[in-house]
Amino acid sequence: MRGLRKRLKRWLHLGHRWLGIATGLFVVAWFASGLVMLTVGFPVLTQAERVAASGPLRLDAVRLTPQAALERSGASAFPDTLTLAMRGPEPAYWITQGDGRRLALSAATGAPFPPLTAESAAALAATHPLARRVADLGPVTRDQWTVTARYDPLRPFRRVALGDVAGTELYLSVATGELALDTTRTERVWNWAGSVLHWVYLTPLRARAGLWQDVVLWISGITLAGAASGYALGFVRLMRGRLTPYRGFAAWHHLAGVAGGLVVVTFLFSGWLSMNPRGWFGPRAPDAAMRAAYAGQAAPVFPLGLDDLAGAPAGSVALDLAWIGGRPVVVAAGPGGTAACCGTVPAPATILAAAGAMLPGARLGAVTRLTAPDAYWYDRHGAPPLPTLRLAFDDPAGTWFHIDPATGAILGRTDRSGRANRWLFDALHTLDAGPLAQNPAARLTVIVAFSALGLVIAASGTVLGWRRLRRA
């Protein structure tokens, strides 16, 4: 047994040494870039930015009814989205087909808009409230900020600079003129040291989603093995009766590893899980079949006319036209938020019946009206939509839906695996749990302190690994 323990200890030491040499720089990069991400997030077009970028909807200029727009689009089924909003100075119907294809029709003439040119892209961008000295920067099919598949239906783009103080650049879909993304100079610069580094978001790699996921899973998995072996080895060394048998960087690495090794292991493990290995965690949104069942009406028809839409609240920038439980619904979006309008507010019974259709054979077990965030309905970047209905079903997956009672919009979907992921990732990786979840300043302080400890461990280990390689 003594010989076996000696061999195991030897293999543990060698494993930690060489795994650390191979992956130490990744750990340094992850902790350093994570600190950057605390203040600068990856560029994304938020709903608030979308509303701010669009002018008030000119219903007086609309001549085409929703039904006529559907007929002009040639849709064989009701589209995934049908929105009436401004396209520069002109109202337009924005249509997303079931296969993801986008179409924009003039709500004044019914004609589709021609593809964007440099001149028309600049003219469209000039209507943005932040526009100062607009300049077209040329066509873009895929770049660092539009690398993910979510942008595929909108490609290619024209990138346009607004010339404002923040250095804002817009990505406009060539096919429709739709605003897909905006970025600022701060986001573009700092994300190279933040999200791009943290997520290994190199464009040629990230463009191939499956390969990118495999690469990150393997790198983080090997790194996790190195950290776990080091944490175990640190306690083995303590059993010699001295605080540490090492000196210099080795002593720093040993003592910091014992004190904060669990932090490193926890961060690496939860980060590895964030890649959803083997699809362990369920989806966060309803699939196409669920959305169709919730709508309760698939034909390309919408019965409300222009007189009905005239009842939209003043200042609305967009009207989303949809079906819920076989009933037409119009949701107005504006600076004050979203709300059903035009006499189409969905009744609670309609919402519950439509939700039940998404899971045929399952029983609705509980309906909870949330008026404050809780452990499963929250937003790390602000307050989540409230009030919200939580509908819990007794299907094998234990599915919950969160639905906006004012509009009937499905805000989220989660099952048991997703609720487990809430604790395995959010609680462990972002410390968004317990008292820290209610105190953002305290949570930020703890994350910075833990990250600093992780940097000491990783940086000292990297120095030791470099010295070992030089001797070798």
Mean pLDDT over 195-200 rounds to: 97
Fill in the DSSP letter of residue 153. G
pLDDT of residue 425: 94
Mean pLDDT over 263-283 rounds to: 95
DSSP per residue over 286-348, as a string? --HHHHHHHH---SS-----HHHHTTSPTT--EEEEEEETTEEEEEEEETTEEEEETT-PPPH
Q: Is the pLDDT of residue 2 over 80?
A: no
pLDDT band at 381 (very low <50, low <70, confident <90, very high): confident
Is residue 415 one of the residues assigned to a domain? no
d(CA 181, CA 170): 6
d(CA 361, CA 394): 9
Q: Which amino acid is at 203?
A: T
User: pTM to 2 decimals?
Assistant: 0.92
Is residue 24 one of the residues assigned to a domain? yes
* Coil vs helix vs strand at 27: helix
The torsion angle over the Cα atoms of residues 97, 98, 100 and 106, rounded to 10 degrees, is: 10
Mean pLDDT over 410-425 rounds to: 95
Q: Are 147 and 205 in contact (CB under 8 A)?
A: no
d(CA 128, CA 140): 20
- Give the chain's mean pLDDT: 94
d(CA 91, CA 109): 10
pLDDT of residue 319: 98
Q: Which amino acid is at 181?
A: L
Is residue 462 one of the residues assigned to a domain? yes
* Coil vs helix vs strand at 354: helix
pLDDT band at 246 (very low <50, low <70, confident <90, very high): confident
What are the CA-CA distances from residue 458 to residues 224, 249, 312, 374 (Å)? Answer: 12, 11, 57, 35
Paired tokens of 136 = 């077209």
d(CA 407, CA 410): 9
- Interhelix angle 248-273/209-238, nearest 10 degrees: 140
More confident position, 244 or 322: 322
Q: Bridge partners of 403?
A: 389, 410
Closest CA to 195 of 426, 25, 432, 30: 30
Fill in the DSSP letter of residue 245. S
Fill in the DSSP letter of residue 43. P
d(CA 229, CA 82): 54
Mean pLDDT over 322-348 rounds to: 96
Model confidence pLDDT, tens digit, residues 87-96: 999 999 999 9
Which residues lie below 8 Å from residue 48, measured CB to CB, with a gap of 6+? none
Mean pLDDT over 16-21 rounds to: 90
pLDDT band at 245 (very low <50, low <70, confident <90, very high): confident
Domain containing 218: what range? 11-40+203-281+435-471
Paired tokens of 65 = 């009814």
For tokens 């965030």, what's the residue?
A: 373
Out of 190-194, 273-277, 452-456, 466-470, pick the least confident.
Answer: 466-470
Mean pLDDT over 53-67 rounds to: 96
Which residues lie below 8 Å from residue 45, measured CB to CB, with a gap of 6+? 179, 180, 181, 182
Q: ∠372-376-382 over CA atoms, to 5°?
A: 55
Q: What share of the chain has pLDDT > 90, as a percent?
A: 84
Mean pLDDT over 429-453 rounds to: 92
Q: Which amino acid is at 439?
A: N
Is residue 237 one of the residues assigned to a domain? yes
Is residue 226 one of the residues assigned to a domain? yes
pLDDT of residue 383: 81
What are the CA-CA distances from residue 439 to residues 35, 432, 435, 443, 446 (Å)? Answer: 18, 9, 7, 6, 11
Out of 56-70, 191-205, 231-245, pick the least confident.
Answer: 231-245
pLDDT band at 190 (very low <50, low <70, confident <90, very high): very high
Model confidence pLDDT, tens digit, residues 288-302: 999 999 999 999 999
Residue 161 belongs to what H/E stretch?
strand 157-161
Q: Is the pLDDT of residue 331 over 70?
A: yes
Q: Are 128 and 169 in contact (CB under 8 A)?
A: no
d(CA 256, CA 148): 38
Counted domains in the chain: 1
Residue 367 belongs to what H/E stretch?
strand 364-370
pLDDT band at 241 (very low <50, low <70, confident <90, very high): low
Q: Which amino acid is at 242?
A: R
pLDDT of residue 210: 94
Q: Is the pLDDT of residue 412 over 80?
A: yes
Mean pLDDT over 426-453 rounds to: 92
Is residue 183 one of the residues assigned to a domain? no
pLDDT of residue 339: 95
What are the CA-CA distances from residue 257 to residues 23, 263, 378 (Å)? Answer: 16, 9, 33
- Alpha helix stretches (DSSP H) within 371-439: 416-421, 428-429, 434-437
Is residue 61 one of the residues assigned to a domain? no
User: What is the CB-side half-sphere exposure of residue 164 using CA atoms within 13 A?
Assistant: 17
Is residue 450 one of the residues assigned to a domain? yes
Paired tokens of 339 = 């709300």
* Coil vs helix vs strand at 61: helix
